[in-house]
């Protein structure tokens, strides 16, 4: 099952955007019967993040994601670049999280806009 992020506002990448760090928090539920990004008492052990061009689904991970994402306290930090080859448009990130109990959760973040709005 893949869960979509409910973004407050989109990430805007401009041509001069290089290795801009963005933090994505995956908070566990506050109790056994409560809801959270991940189940109660679990934590994120590792994360794999991929990127795609929303218009046609082309994988742009190597161009969009600047470095291997890091995980600390259920927060995944991803450094993003402006995708020079594909350029302007909407982009998606897919997070595949391995939790400390061995379970896997997937999340999609679909609020990245690459815009050449002038520097």
CATH of the domain at 65: 2.60.40
Residue 20 lies in domain: 2-114
Euclidean distance between CA atoms 30 and 50, whole angstroms: 28
pTM for the whole thing?
A: 0.91
Residue 119 covered by a domain: no
Residue 74 covered by a domain: yes
**Each residue of 51-83: pLDDT tens digit?**
999 999 999 999 999 999 999 999 999 999 999
Query: Which is nearest to 3 in space by CA: 76, 104, 72?
Result: 104
Size (the chain), residues: 119
Residue 64 covered by a domain: yes
* pLDDT above 60: residue 100: yes
Residue 99 covered by a domain: yes
Question: What was the pLDDT predicted at 39?
Answer: 94
Q: How many structural domains are present in the chain?
A: 1
Residue 110 covered by a domain: yes
Residues 6+ apart with CB under 8 A from 69: 47, 48, 49, 76, 77, 78, 79
Euclidean distance between CA atoms 55 and 8, whole angstroms: 22
Euclidean distance between CA atoms 65 and 71, whole angstroms: 15
């Amino acid at each position: 099952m893949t869960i979509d992020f409910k973004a407050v506002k989109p990430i805007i990448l401009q041509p001069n955007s290089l290795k801009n760090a963005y933090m994505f928090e995956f908070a566990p539920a506050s109790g056994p019967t409560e809801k959270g990004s991940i189940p109660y008492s679990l934590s994120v052990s590792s994360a794999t993040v991929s990127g795609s061009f929303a218009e046609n689904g082309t994988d742009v991970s190597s161009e969009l994601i600047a470095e291997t994402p890091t995980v600390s306290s259920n927060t995944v930090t991803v450094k993003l670049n402006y995708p020079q080859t594909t350029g302007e448009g909407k982009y998606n990130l897919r997070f595949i999280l391995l939790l400390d109990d061995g379970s896997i959760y997937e999340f999609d973040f679909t609020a990245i806009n690459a815009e050449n709005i002038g520097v």
